[in-house]
Every structure is written in structure tokens, then in C-alpha cells.
Structure 1
Amino acid sequence: GYTSVLASSPGPHHPQPLSKEELEALKVAFEQGNLSGVVSRLQETLESLKNVQLDVGITGETGSGKSSFVNALRGLGDEDAGAARTGVVETTREPTPYQHPQYPNVTIWDLPGIGTTDFHPDAYLEQVGFSRYDIFFIIASQRFTANHAALARHIQALDKNFYFVRSKVDADLDSSLRRRPSSYSEVGVLQEIRENCLEGLRAQEVDSPYVFLLSAFELGKYDFHLLEETLERELSHHKRHAFLKALPNISLHLLEKKKAAMMKQMWLVSTVACGVHAKPIPGLLISCDVDVLARTLQGYCKSFGLDEDSLEKLAAQVGQPVGQMKAVIKSPLATEISNSLVVQLLTQAGGKVPKLSKEVLSSVPVLGSMASGALSFATTYKMLRSFMDEVAASVQRVLIKAFETETPSMEGRWRQDPNIPRKSLPLPIKCQNFIP
């Protein structure tokens, strides 16, 4: 049946399954022969993925680096326009929302400090409007105290997710290197910091604590990939998609994650584009909604920082002409994403899909009710996959071009420890301010 087919495990070219709720809604519409209802429901799913609201609360003691962490998650430096105020004294008196510069549905909240002697976690959570946040980051730049632990227990009791973050580990590493240059070990220092944090939390009776070691100025290093993987497991599907899409492009690993997340949605886009609003494409034996596809391609470029605004910002940050950034972007990304370009790409994809059309028809049976549905879907799906491959390749070329003077240090680190997966290496430090 329709539900069992969509719920089956997808192969490399198969559509990604929907959630149980989405499957049930589609099953009812399909069994009632309501084709427009099916496509309409899929369109709603796409819109919800694009517009889902994600609210992240950042809290901790005064001077722990809360505001810098807020900025880093938004791809901003502390001096950039729109950045949260930072300083050694408490600069946040009330919960302050900071929208993501390119994804306004993602809001990072800078919350007041918790370091006062009369701190009461229940009153604090009421003051900051506890219910509005999806997740909390509890930050410390030294040891975690009784205040951190008490806040964590209250958040846990109210059934919300929280994550301990030990900030400023880059400063600790620099200090250790100056003090003990001959015996310095980055791994050893990080392990010492981690054990110190865990001991402090256990002493405050926090069960099975886990601490992520991070630096707001080198966000892609240390434990960020572990934090990202944890959030991927624990956030709901739509919230996870919003968080991942909004993260700055700080490592090749993260770029691959973004690509994989968007690939999972391609069958959804293809089905909607070939639905009831599809129109015949002149010169091709297919029908699709070219407007939907053009907006999708524009969204891919935006998420990977290949739109005009992101490229200009990157060029200004690294002091290079924007033309040098654009020079390494190959066609079709080098041209404006327009409806005519979409038709051109569909034409190129059209000769590569005969086998795929039979395969996808069995995975998305609703297409069988559409005129030329399978061929239209297969052509659209192939075009999106090819475009995404080129996006992923181009953004790597752009970032390497932008930070090419720092690339040898990345290679040097890999040569020192070949066990480090290349894709997990962070992109150069300057890249922390690159907004995707």
C-alpha cells in the first residue's frame, strides 16, 4: 500500500520516509482519491520545514562568553552589525532575542546571568519565559557551580533539553602552552578540563553529566561536531532541519550534513513540483512547476553561502574582490537562478532518467495518477540532485579560495595525526564569521 511503500527504508536514490503523522494524513487523502489533497499536504510539509520556529536559550554566569556564543551560532563576530553585546561585566539584563541574519525563524536568546548569590532557578526560569525555548545551553568558562547544577535539574524536571558547554577552551590551551611548552599536549589539556567539569557536576549531584568543550571564536573545533550529532538525535525532525540549515559553514563535515539533509527533502520538492500546479515544459515530455524549482535552487545557494549577499560578505571579510570568489563557481551556479535556467537544467537532466523513472514510480505511487507523472518526477529529481552536487563542490572551492593562505595549517594538522578524518577538520578560523 501507499503507506508501506513510503515508510520503507530508502536507498541512495529512494525518497526519504515521512513522519508517522504525515504518512497517516497522506494515506487518508490517497485512499479517498484526493490527488490535490495529497500534493497540498506535501506542500504544507515543505512550508513547515521552511518556517518552523526554533528558539535557543543561552545562559550561564557573568563573563562566561554567553553573548559570544550567541554571535557564533548566528555566524557573526562580536563586532559585526547586529551582534549581541559582549563584555567582562554582565551586559544582559533581560532575555534578548537575536534572529538569525538569514533565517528569521531561528532565534538565539541571550539570557541574564545566573551567578548571583541569591539565584533561585525556579524564579529565574519564570523570569526568562521558560516555555518559549526549545533547548538551553548552560555555559561556564571555568568550573560548573551549584547554580549551574540547580538550573539544569529544574530544566530537566520540566522536560526540556539542556546542554552543558565549557567555553573558552582555546584560551586554556594557549595558557597551558605558554606555561608548559615542552610537555604541552592539546589532548591532555582538553581531557583535564573535561574531567574537572564532570567532577564539579557530579559533586552537585547531576546524574550522568556530559560537557561539550567549545570556543566561540573557533566554533568548528573541539566538541562542536559531538554537540551537532547530539542535537541531531534529540531535536524533533523539523527543529533539527532548522538548526542545521542555520549553522555557519564551519567544517567540511557540516557541509556534508547540510547536503544530506537537503537530499532527504528532494523527493518532497519533486512531488510538489510535479503536482496539480504543474505545467507542460515546451520541448520536453514533462510537466512541472518551474517557480517552485527556481525557489528551491535559490534556497540551496543561500544555505551554502553562494548567494550574492553571502559572497560579498565573505569577500569583505577576507579582503579579496568578490570576483575572485565567483571565479571558482562553475555554471550553472555562476548565472542567476531564473525560470529559464531551470528549464535548461531540466532539459539536460531529461536524457539521464529512463531507469530512474520506473524506480521512483514504485516509491511514490501518487504520481501514477498524473499525466507523465513518473517521467516528470524522475527528471526533476535528477536535476535537483545534480544541482546540489555542484553546490556542494562549489562552496568547498569558494572557501578554499577565500582562506587559501591558511589551508596549509589544516593539512599540517592532518599530517601530524593522520587518524583525524579529513572531513572533520574545521575550516580556517576566519571562516567562523562566514554566514551560510
Structure 2
Amino acid sequence: MESQSSDINEAIQASGEATLEQATKKAKEEIDRLFNVRLDIAVTGESGSGKSSFVNALRGLKDNDEDAAPTGSTETTTEPTPYQHPTMPNVTLWDLPGIGSPKFKARTYLKNVTFDRYDFFLIVSSVRFRENDIMLAKEIKKKKKLFYFIRSKIDNDIKSEKRKGIDKEETLSKIRRNCEEELKGIGNPNTFLISSWDTSEFDFAKLIDALNSELPQNKQNTLLQSVPVYSVAMLEKKVRMFQKIAWAVALISGAILVAPVPGLSFSSDMAIVGSFFTSCYHSFGLDHKSLERLSELVNKPHLKSLEMSPLVAELSCCLVPVAGNDASAAISFTSKLEVLLKGLDKLAEEARKVLREAGLE
């Protein structure tokens, strides 16, 4: 009994709350934020600006993947088209029709694409920001929603300018100055230089940082969890996010085992623990599709042959009792939290190894 009381106190202390009831409520809210908070991202701009490729890049997909948004030199998007994140059904990227197209006139654009549906807008241009882009940004600003300018196809610009003898840094500086000049009529908006082919380059990480500093708190973890990992810095942010939520998983799964809730069972504990490690696995880019894309990006074919999925089952089994084994159901909160964090560290270390092998340290 003394041991159980101590375990409860440790769980309460980890939560930062005053009572077990408050701690449990907070833990459920944290888990709900991790797995269920909706995020709807609108990607818009003129036809041919690279919207669809950018939607694919944010989803960690190649343009020729089966579930990728179709791309082409002509307008391929004629209606607001939702693309669900491949591993997070609560995250949807909306490929919006080009502003100014016959069916979507600039002045009625926001009404026609159902403005209130989206959490923020990404306005994409591949050459220069035009009158329609600026008009759209002003209307979004009036309605007090977040918007960001994306200057896409930066890799193409660099290659083109290199043929003229202009180096990369000079090209980037020139593009930034041009963006500032074009957008000076709406203050000092956030503008990011992006290559949809290689999100490890240029301003992709800065874009995610900006979003995570300005989105509502309950949306930030959803965004961070969903974006692809192409740098150690991005990985470590994800690791810290999961470390902060581990106590909630330990508390809720332990509560199910020690004090069963009607309608919940051993399988519910398996689901919570398994979902935690599965989310880490996908978010860290250890699944086959992520490894395949990374291998093509850095031209290291052997990366796509790495197989990490057995790790999830292995780690989950460390925390889920064998049915009918009462002794294993007495795993303490502290012990469960310790094993969760060790499992998280193991997955993180595998991801660090992959990034080192890819040359993206």
C-alpha cells in the first residue's frame, strides 16, 4: 500500500498538478493533443508556382508517389483538394486552386475556397510575388489569420544563376531583396526560400520554427510531429516534444492496468504504449517511405533497405504485461516512465545514426 501511495505521488509530481484526479485529467488532455488535434494547412498561389510539389514535400512524399498531389506545368488543381498526412490522419494539407484562375477570381477567392476551414495559409510563388498574391495576403490579414510567403524552386534559381557565374549566396541575397521589394506594401511579412525537392536546404527549418512560435499551443506539437526530418536540429526538437509527453502515457497506461476503467482493457494499454512508440517511429523518419525518400535525396541507396519497424513491437512489449500475469500489472509509474524514455532514446539514436549516414548531421 505504501508503495502504491509513493507511486501515485510520483505521478502527481510529474504532472505538476495537486491531485491524482487533476494529474489524470491533464494526462488525458496531453495525449489527446498528441494524437487528435486537427491541423488544416492551406497552400495557395498562382498556377505553376509549385504548390502541389510543396504539399508533397510537407507530407514527406515524392511527386511520383502513389498518394502524392498531381503536379504539372499546367493548372492541375481545379478545386480545394485535401491531402491527408500519410501517418497522421488529423493533419490535412489543402492544395488550393491558383488564385486568379477563371473559376477562382482574386476578389472572391477566400469565400470560394472556404476560408475559415484552415489554420494558416502558405502563399507560394516560383518567380515573383504578384498583385494577386499581395491582395490575397491583405485579405487574410484583415481576417486575422496567419499567412506566410513561400518562394519556391530555389534550387532551380541557383542552378540557373550559376551558369551565369553567380554563386549561391549572392543568388539567395538577390532573391531575398526582391521579395522584400515586392512585398513592402504589406509591412514586413514572413518570407521563406524553399526547395520542395530538398527540405534540408534553405529556409524550411525556419518556416517550421516560425509556425511553431505563432500557432496556438495545442496545434504546435501536431505540426512538429508531422513535418519530415532532414536535420539533427529538427530531430532533437521532436525528441524533446515526446519526452515531455511520456509521463502522460505512463500515467494513463498504468491507471488502466492498476485500476481498470470500464470498457478499457489490456488491449487499451497496448494501444496507448504502441501508439506512442509508433508516433515516434514515424515522426523520426524511420519508416520505409521516409528512408526511401532520404536515400534518393542524398544518393545513398542502401538507406532505403534499413528496417526499423521491429523496434516498435519490441519496445511496446517491454511495457505491456502478459495477459493473466498479475505481477507484471504492478509496473510502477516511475518504472514505466523510465522504460518509455529509454525506448524513446533508442528510437532517437537510430534516427541520429540514419542522419549521420546520410551526411545530414
TM-score range, shorter chain: 0.7 to 0.9
Residue 55 (structure 1) shift = 0.5
Greater displacement, 298-307 / 387-396: 298-307
Partner of 2:278: 298
> Which residues in structure 2 correspond to 1:391-402 (within 5 Å)?
391-401=347-357
1:349-386 superposed Cα distances (whole Å, 9 cap, x missing partner): xxxxxxxxxxxxxxxxxxxxxxx9xx922222221221
Q: Is 1:56 matched with 2:20?
A: no
Q: Is 1:246 matched with 2:226?
A: yes
Partner of 1:157: 142
Residue 188 (structure 1) shift = 1.6
Q: Contact 1:53/1:105 (CA < 8 Å) preserved in 2?
A: yes
Aligned equivalents of 1:208, 1:311: Cα separation in 2 = 37
Q: Is 1:272 matched with 2:252?
A: yes
Q: Is 1:195 matched with 2:174?
A: no
Residue 76 (structure 1) shift = 0.8
1:68-127 superposed Cα distances (whole Å, 9 cap, x missing partner): 001110111111101111111111111001001111111111101014499754410010
State the structure with more CA Rg: 1
**Structure 1 runs not aligned, ≥5 long:** 1-13, 18-25, 281-287, 345-371, 411-422, 424-436
1:256-310 superposed Cα distances (whole Å, 9 cap, x missing partner): 1111111111222222233354369xxxxxxx95653343223322322335676
Q: Is 1:384 matched with 2:340?
A: yes
Task: Indicate how the Cα distance of structure 1 residues 51 and 291 shifts in structure 2: closer, same or farther if over 3 A, else same.
Answer: closer
Partner of 1:134: 119
Q: Contact 2:221/2:241 (CA < 8 Å) preserved in 1?
A: yes
Partner of 2:313: 336
Q: Percent identity?
A: 38
Task: Indicate how the Cα distance of structure 1 residues 186 and 93 shifts in structure 2: closer, same or farther if over 3 A, else same.
Answer: same
Task: Indicate how the Cα distance of structure 1 residues 311 and 66 shifts in structure 2: closer, same or farther if over 3 A, else same.
Answer: closer
Task: Indicate how the Cα distance of structure 1 residues 122 and 290 shifts in structure 2: closer, same or farther if over 3 A, else same.
Answer: same
Aligned equivalents of 1:52, 1:88: Cα separation in 2 = 35
> Which residues in structure 2 correspond to 1:74-89 (within 5 Å)?
74-89=59-74
**Structure 2 runs not aligned, ≥5 long:** 1-12, 261-267, 322-329
Q: Is 1:111 matched with 2:93?
A: no
1:322-363 superposed Cα distances (whole Å, 9 cap, x missing partner): 6x514xx6xx9647336543269xxxxxxxxxxxxxxxxxxx
Partner of 1:361: none
Residue 151 (structure 1) shift = 0.4
Corresponding residue to 1:46 among 25, 31, 35: 31
Partner of 2:326: none
Aligned equivalents of 2:301, 2:252: Cα separation in 1 = 42
Q: Is 1:325 matched with 2:306?
A: yes
Aligned equivalents of 2:190, 2:303: Cα separation in 1 = 44
Partner of 1:148: 133
Report the residue type matching 1:389 in the other structure.
Answer: D
Aligned equivalents of 2:47, 2:126: Cα separation in 1 = 10
1:226-260 superposed Cα distances (whole Å, 9 cap, x missing partner): 11110110111221111111111222211111111
Aligned equivalents of 2:61, 2:272: Cα separation in 1 = 31
SS of equivalent residue, structure 2 residue 186: coil
Aligned length: 333
Q: Contact 2:49/2:126 (CA < 8 Å) preserved in 1?
A: yes
Q: Contact 1:36/1:276 (CA < 8 Å) preserved in 2?
A: no
